[in-house]
Every structure is written in C-alpha cells, then in structure tokens.
Structure 1
Amino acid sequence: MKALLFAAGKGTRLKPFTDQHPKALAMVNGKTLLQRNIEFLKSFGIKDFVINIHHFGQQIIDILKENDNFGVSVEISDEREELLETGGGLLFAKSFLEHEKDFLIMNVDILTDLNITDLIEYHLQHNNFITLAVSDRQSSRKLLFDQEMLLQGWENKQTGAQKLVEGATHLQELAFSGIHCVSSDIFSKIKRKGKFSIMDEYLDMMHYERIVGFLHQAQLIDVGKPESINIAENIFQ
C-alpha cells in the first residue's frame, strides 16, 4: 500500500524551530520526524511514498536526496505555491494515488507504535471506504462513533460545536490519531476544491459512505509543540 505523508504544514506550534525549517525536520533523539515515519512505515512493508511539501519544502527535498530517500521510493507533491490543508493536499496529490485501490495517509508530526499491518488488514477485510485510527485520549476535538464504530459525528469540546448524523444517539467520543486508510474512490466523491480540511469531507461522506473507526491503544505523540519533543524522546528511542 502506498503512503501519503502530510508534511506541508507551517508547524506554527513548533516555533521558533519552524521559523527556519519545516516541522518534518524536527529532531527526536537524533532523527527527524520525516526519517522516523518513513522508517516506521517501511518496517511494515510500505516502500512507496508521496510526500507533500510547502513550508521550507526544499529542505525536505534536499534531505531526501542526501539520504537516498531512506531506502524507499518517494514522489513529491509540491504545494509550495499554495498551502492547501489536508483535503486540498490530498486532492492535489490525486495523480500519485488515483491508480491505487487503497492508500494510507499519515501526518508527519505523529509518532506512534501503532501496528500498521493490523490497521490495513482491518480496512481491507471490512471493505471500508475510510478507516480512521482512533483512541480514547484527551483532545479538544472528538469524533463520534456508534456501537459498530461507524462515524456518526464530530464535536469541538471547547466550543460545543457539533456535526451529527440525524438521529444518532449513544455515541462514543474518540480522538483521531492522524492515520487513515482511504479508498481511491474518494477522488470521485470529494466536493470541495482549493484549500480545505479532509475531515470536513469525511463528515459529509459519513452520511452515505462506510467510514469506520479503528480503536487502538498504541502509544501516540503529536509532536506539535517544543515540549512534546521531550515527551517523545522519552518514548521513542
């Protein structure tokens, strides 16, 4: 399965590092997030990658070249003209992914020991349209699932804003892990254009597509703030 690594974001929470570098090159115990996640996915047999770039994107291109792509095949989805967010970034990378039956998406600033093989097998065996890795952890935004783990809604815990499937009740709140398996049929279903969040599309699609949560208890760190690097270094050697 081919993997799309989202590495284009400005990483504003990681300032001052991201004043001069992309967040993908933040270091955890001597390795960049980019290298760690390429090697992590490679350990599960993933050898074909699409990496989107924007903020200091040339630095990502350079480090890949210097390290022979860390032993995998890499295609660059170049968003340096305009940052398109996750949904726009996925749509922009369509030419690299549309011929795959399914593909994996992962945010480059996530570090985890999630068993990716289990996630992929669950996605394929259940013929899911989209499979979202989720866990029961603290988050300001929660995805809402029914007893069969079908996506039924979303809630912002700080503002109380919600999006729900009509009539949905007795829902469990889980946090998205930034890792998802996606059918390439998504490209014919996306309604938005330009800059948009893929989660907004998912929340529209949940009314008619099989979008399922894969509940896990793996360790997961969102390396979005300088203090989270220290936490990650205590977990990921």
Structure 2
Amino acid sequence: MKALIFAAGLGERMRPLTLHTPKPLLSAGGKRLIEWHLEKFAALGIDEVVVNTSWLAPQFPETLGDGARWGLRLRYSYEGQTPLETGGGMLHALSLLQENTSPQAPFLVANGDIWTDYDFAALPREFDGDAHLLLVDNPPQHPHGDFRLDDGRLHNHDEPRLTYSGIGLYRSSLFDDWRVRLGDAAGAQLQPPRFSTVPLLRAAAEAGRLSGSHHGGRWTDVGTPERLQQLDAALTAAAHY
C-alpha cells in the first residue's frame, strides 16, 4: 500500500512559525510532525509515501531526503506556488499513487499537521466504497463534527456527529465524474483544478459509499502555535515520565 501526506498548505494560522518553515516540518516532542507519520507508516509496512508540497516546497526534500532513513521511498508532488487544496492535491498526486499498482488499490492519506496515538494497523485492510475515514471526538474548535457514524457507515445528517481526523483510506473511484459532481464550484475549472475533497466525500456518503471507524484516543489538529506548544509540552513530559 502507498500513502499520501498532505503538506502543501500555507499554514497561515500558524504564523509567524510558518513564515520560514512549512507546518509539517515544525517539531513536537523532539520530532517533526511529519516524522511521526513516517515512522508509523514504515512500521505498518508501507514502502512508498507521496508528499504533496507547495509552500516552501524545497525544504521537504532538503529535510527528509529520499526517505531511506525510515526505510521508505519518498516522492514529492509539487503543486506550484498555490496549493490545490485536498481534492485538487489528491487528484494531482494520483498518477504517483497508482504507479505500478492496481487503479483501484486503496492508499492511506494523512494530514501533515496532525498528531495522534492511533495505531494505523487498526485501519481495515478491506473496505467497500470510495473511502474509509477515521473519526475522532469533536475538538473545541470543531464542536459540531462532520459525519454521523452508524454501524460502520458515515452519514451527512443527524446527530451525534464526529470529526474527521484527517486520516483515511481512499480509492481513486472517489474522483469518478468529479467534474460533474462539483459542477460550477470555484476552482474546479482551473488548470490544474483546485478544490476540496469535502463535496466528493459528502456525495459518497449519500450514495452509501463512505465507511468509517472511531478513535477515542489522543488526537491533535496542530492548527495554532498554542496547540503546537501544548502538544510539545505533553509529548516531552511523557518522554521523561
């Protein structure tokens, strides 16, 4: 299985920390955020990871190299000076994710600016539909959640809803007829296209093609300097416990 790490964002809410360092390369607990993912991916047996880049893109290969130190092969999907958002970024990286593999083989996706104690080995090896998303309890900054989880299926409506963690398994079928599904959405007509995966995931949920599971453990969306500081303090304290 291959994996994709979203690392192209501008990190505007993290400034001034991200003026000179991409957010996934910021450190917490003595490791860069992206390194926590790479270590887990290597332990899972993933051998090839695609990192999408835009803001301060050269720093990723300069810092991470080819991935050999983790026993991985790192490849970089450069999106240009303007990030393509999650949907456009994933679409842009599909050729690398599908190279030398089945067109419908699932691939693991993780946001580069999150930290979790989740064991990636708990993700299902097989699932029906277009994607399987890991959900977490709603954090203070996102109290209303994203999806309702019912018997392994995700739904757009009704309560209670949980928050998408930024970790999931995807298939390229999520992008079947994506232009039709997005319609006149802003960015969809650009070259290259720039759009979010959210409308496609919503459509997959409506069609019964979106499954999910719940992680009740630790998870942090490192979206502000304060959250990064809190995470760093917690991880450093745990390392010395």
TM-score after normalising by structure 1: 0.84
**Any stretches of 5+ residues in structure 1 without a counterpart?**
154-163
Shift of 1:152: 2.0
Quick one: distance in 2 between partners of 1:24 and 1:102? 24
Mapping of 1:90-169 within 5 angstroms? 90-98=90-98, 99-100=101-102, 101-121=105-125, 124=126, 126-138=127-139, 139-145=142-148, 147-153=150-156, 164=157, 169=158
Instruction: Select between 30-39 and 180-189 the one with higher mean Cα deviation.
Output: 180-189
**Any stretches of 5+ residues in structure 2 without a counterpart?**
183-187
Quick one: distance in 2 between partners of 1:115 and 1:149? 18
Equivalent residue, structure 1, for 2:30: 30
Quick one: distance in 2 between partners of 1:70 and 1:13? 30
Aligned-pair identity in percent equals: 30
Equivalent residue, structure 2, for 1:40: 40
Equivalent residue, structure 2, for 1:160: none
Equivalent residue, structure 2, for 1:172: 160
Alignment RMSD: 2.0
Matched-pair contact (CA < 8 Å) for 1:150–1:212: yes
Equivalent residue, structure 2, for 1:10: 10
Quick one: distance in 2 between partners of 1:66 and 1:50? 11
Deviations 1:45-95 (A, max 9, x none): 222100000000001121122874643101111112431000000011110
Q: What secondary structure sits across from 1:186 in the alignment?
A: helix
Matched-pair contact (CA < 8 Å) for 1:35–1:70: no
Structure (1 or 2) with the greater strand fraction: 1
Equivalent residue, structure 2, for 1:198: 197
Equivalent residue, structure 2, for 1:210: 209
Quick one: distance in 2 between partners of 1:2 and 1:91? 15
Which residue type is aligned with residue 75 of structure 1?
R
Aligned residues between the structures: 219
Deviations 1:185-205 (A, max 9, x none): 223242343111111211122
Quick one: distance in 2 between partners of 1:69 and 1:92? 26
Equivalent residue, structure 1, for 2:185: none
Which residue type is aligned with residue 18 of structure 1?
T
